[in-house]
Structures are given as structure tokens and as C-alpha cells.
Structure 1
Amino acid sequence: MFGFTSNDIGIDLGTASILVYIKGKGVVLKEPSVVAIDRENGKIQAIGEEARLMIGRTPGNIVAVRPLRQGVISDYTITEKMLKYFIDKSVGKKTFRKPRIAVCIPSGATEVEKKAVEDATYSAGAREVKIIEEPVAAAIGAGIDISKAVGNMIVDIGGGTADIAVISLGGTVVSTSIKIAGDDFDEAIVRYMRKKHNLLIGERTAEDIKITIGAAYRRPEVLTMEVKGRNLVTGLPKTIEVNSDETLEALREPAMQIVDSVHNVLERTPPELAADVYERGIVLTGGGSLLSGLDALIEEKTGINTVIADNPLTAVAIGTGKFIEGVKGELKK
């Protein structure tokens, strides 16, 4: 055997981050889906974590961009280069043969969007490409046996999209993909700080607030943190104290939009499968599911037991990798 021989790779192509799963090794890479580009010559300066650190801190000629918007490709050329960089970083450039890659995308992606992902993955060095829907990958990664004729409900909340689906017999029965997710939580906090405190903050600060004291459901005890930004009245830097009850107010609207979509999918679910979901509960995956109290909010509004998967951040990547292992025979020409 020569080093990397399995050549099975699963990629969670997310708006906020990209995860790469390799058969036998697990998740080997998790980096932000960010690319820093020199505007003057179009050259890529940095990719991944290095580029993320440049957001909001770059000179005028260097811009940090996200080539994926709301789960789909917004810049094909940059996505292709980013994918190639992450694949090479994961498996090494001197591989025995080109890898077979499964990539997951939002369940609401159009055929054109699917084709763009497929083409970009082939161009990045894949031998064969299999596209898998995010909720199916999330369910497999969360340890759910999706092959049985039993209804399972998955709510996968990423950076750009939230995918909600009821899965049975290995496929999606009812689903919806909404463009409300982690990035929208950040934007809601930015808007709130501007409106309530006349304080202008950046994306990274908003994300810090969300992770540290963010809440979709009232926390048992009120948490506070200091937030630095620019006072919109004086134009000078300012530090204020913000508490978790304020984030509850700021995040109410996007959190309720996710709850409404869960409700909508349940209403369209066939009665037998709806009964299964009621019995088995709702499983949350994705980074957005880690927002404090989101599971409690969904449970309160639907009356169905709601739990967060054991590995919410890596569930989709693991599921994508396990999926390609399962369809290996089918993929062989």
C-alpha cells in the first residue's frame, strides 16, 4: 500500500467553512471559506484561516472575499482555486491517483448550481464527483440510520443556509432550504448594535458576541461582555457592555424564521412520517445549531423533543465521507 490509497474524500462545501473528510482518517481539515485577493492584479494572497484573519484589516488593494454565498458558488474561478488548495492540503499533491470526491450542497440548490459545484470539483482535481444533499449527509453524520422506512427530521443550520428535511428510506421526503443561518445571526447583531447603541461593529465582533453571549431562548443567568466598536455619533472608538438578554432581542427575528420553516416542513410531512418525527424527535446539526437556546426554542414552538447532534460542526463532512464509502461500488465505472 502506498500512503493515501483509499482516495475517498467527503467535502462539506460551506458558506462559512470547508471541512474535508478522508476515509480512515476522519475530518482532516476545517478552514474558513475565505480567500484574500489583491485587487490590482487579481492574485490570491491567502486562503482559509490566514485569509479570515485579514477580514476588516486589509489595506485597500487586498480584499477578503467569500466565493460561496448562501451555500452556492458566487465566484466560480476562486471557488475552484480554493477547492484545489484544500484538497492538496488534505491529501498532499503527490497522490497515487486522483481522488473520488463527494460534495454536499443545500437541498434547495438548482441543477445549474449543482453543475457548477461538480465542474469546480473536477477542475480542482477529482477523478469522480458525487453530489449529496446536505440534510442527508447531516443525518448520516449524526449517526442516524436513514436506510429504514422511518421518518427522521434534520435541521442543518450552516453559515449561509438552513436546510430542514424529513428523511426516510435513504432519501428526502419533504424539505426546504432557507437563506437564513449563522451569517444572518451576525448581521442581526450588527444591526441591533447600530440601532440600539449607535455602535458600528464588524462581522468578526458580531460573531464573537453570538458565540459568547448569544441566545435564542432566555439563558438561566444573564451573561455580559465588553464590545468595542466605533461610535456613530462621535466617530471615535468606544467600548460598551452588552448582555445576553439584548442578543435575545437582536436574534429573535432570524431564529423565528427558522422555527417557522420547521413548522412549514412538519405541515407538509405525510402523517405516518410526522408521527415518527414526533416520537423520535428533531436533530440539529451545523454550526448555527450551537446558538444557545435554539434547540429549546424549536422544542417549545413545535412540542417535539429537539436535540443537538453529538458532532454538529462536523456531522455533514462525516456524513459526506461515509456516503461516498457506501456508494463506492455504484461510482465505479
Structure 2
Amino acid sequence: MPVGSGTEDYMLIVSGSSQYAPFLKAWKDFKDSIRRIIKDQPGWAEVKPSQRRGEMQAWCSLKGRDDAEAAYNYYTQARGVLVHLFKTSRSNGDFGLLKCNCTSLFPDLSGRSHSPNRSGIDVGGVNQYLGRICGVPTPQYTVPVASTYSYASHPQVHPYATPQSHAYYHVPMQVVAPQMSAYSTSASGLPVNMGNGAYLTEARGIFINNLNYKVGPSDLLDLLRTVGNVVDYRLLRDTRTGGFKGAATAKFATKDEAMHAVQVLNNTQHLTKIIHVRLDTDTTVVGEIQQPIIANGSNM
């Protein structure tokens, strides 16, 4: 089947200890990690405990063969990490194992390339799990799930998503049946009704003030590259005169990098001026909740 035909889906499963592979700590960390490797955006992602004691499993759906191969090749280079790549045609939804690196971690497989027992990855179990939580039409699970993209039916809500790390914004959706209201708390401490879905956002940008008026784009980029993987930056100019205002904004690949930039750059000297740096108020959408949750554990 030709690459980029749009008729195949891929599921990447990465297993290992989060102590040696930090991207296995939570789905957000894994999704941020995989974004740096592939060209297109990843689809549904999840991180859950593995059947292998003390390890985690990260699952992520991918659309293109090139992206699937790039992600597989990248994670197989990580120390002590098991990687399994599955493929399916969207016409049947039944995932099959394409390849894995079991033999690199279990050299005594006696000619076999995959060990379901030792890796904790069973092909049948993968299809049952996906059918149960993603609405993938497998022989065991044939109930169709209406969604805007293939894996949107699984709410990506995890214990680490505290009000301090995410802000919730209400997304109006058509209600087809009465539901109990579900509430969470926004970053400002206000209650938010999440019964009809919500977007998860986080601040990945910084605001820099008191820059030297001689600073140019290359000067700003050189400064930002010292603290993280910058994906966008802009010098702010006066709307009337077009002159540089001594301020700038920048966005990083992750919230952690943005916070690191604030800690490192704030109140430091740059081109004879003491600059002031804080997190920007603009936020980036990092996930979506399409089913009601009770975030505080109460019955409200």
C-alpha cells in the first residue's frame, strides 16, 4: 500500500521503566516526546502500568508510515525500552503486529521475533483493549463510536492534571440526553461545568520585557536557544511607529521548557540591560475531554 495513502493506521506501544525513560511518566510527556520525532500530529495517546513489574506502557496512534517508522526507530535506541509497532487498515480496524524489538532484550527467544509473555504485549489483548476504549471495530467490539477523529472517544484525563498545570475552558456541544453536571476548577480557582466536554490547555510561552532597543531577531533567537527548544518567537513593535518596544514573546515545545526559561533568564543581564521574564498568558491546547468527569472526587 503506498505511503501517505491515508488508508492505514498505526499503533506504537513503548514499554519500559520511567526511571530511565522519562517520557513514560504520563501521556502528556509521551505525546510531547513523540511530537519532536514525527512530522504530523500524533493521535490518541495513553500511558498505563505494564504487565511487567515496575514498568509503564505508552500507547500512541499514528497515521503515516513515515512517522510510524521514525518513531519506532527512535525509541528502539533507548536503553531497556521495548517497542512494538502495529498496523491496521481502516476498513477492518483489526490491528496486527508489524514488528518489535523483543529479540534485542530477550536474545534467547529461539528463533522467534516476539514474546507475548515476556514483553507483556499480546496481539489479541491489544485489539480487545483498543476496542474497549477507542471504539475500534474489532470482532470482539463492534459498537460504533461517533468522534471527530479515530481515537477521540477515550478521555485523556490523568491524576497529574491538577488545576495548577492546566486551565479548563468550556466547549459547548449538543446534549442528546440528560446528564449529571461535572465540575472542576480552573487555574484561577473558579468552578467550571465540564459536563459537555472541555479543552486542556497549558502555558508554553514566555514574555520578555526591558530588552535592549538594539536587539534584533538573531540576538533574541541566540538568547532563547540557551534555555530550550524554541518553536516560535517575536519582537513586539509599536503599532503606530513600527519601532521596537523592548519586549518580545516566545513559545517552547513544552511547558517545562517555558518554566525553565523563566527561571534561568528572569532578572539576568542581556546586552547591558536587566531583562524581566514571565510565563505568557496565552495558552496551548494539549488535550480534549469529551466525556463528563468529576475532577475533585466528589458527587457534585
Which structure has the larger Rg?
2
Which structure has more relative contact order (CA 8 Å, sep 6+)? It is 1
Same fold (TM over 0.5): no
Q: TM-score, normalised on structure 1?
A: 0.28
Which structure's residues are more often helix, by fraction? 1
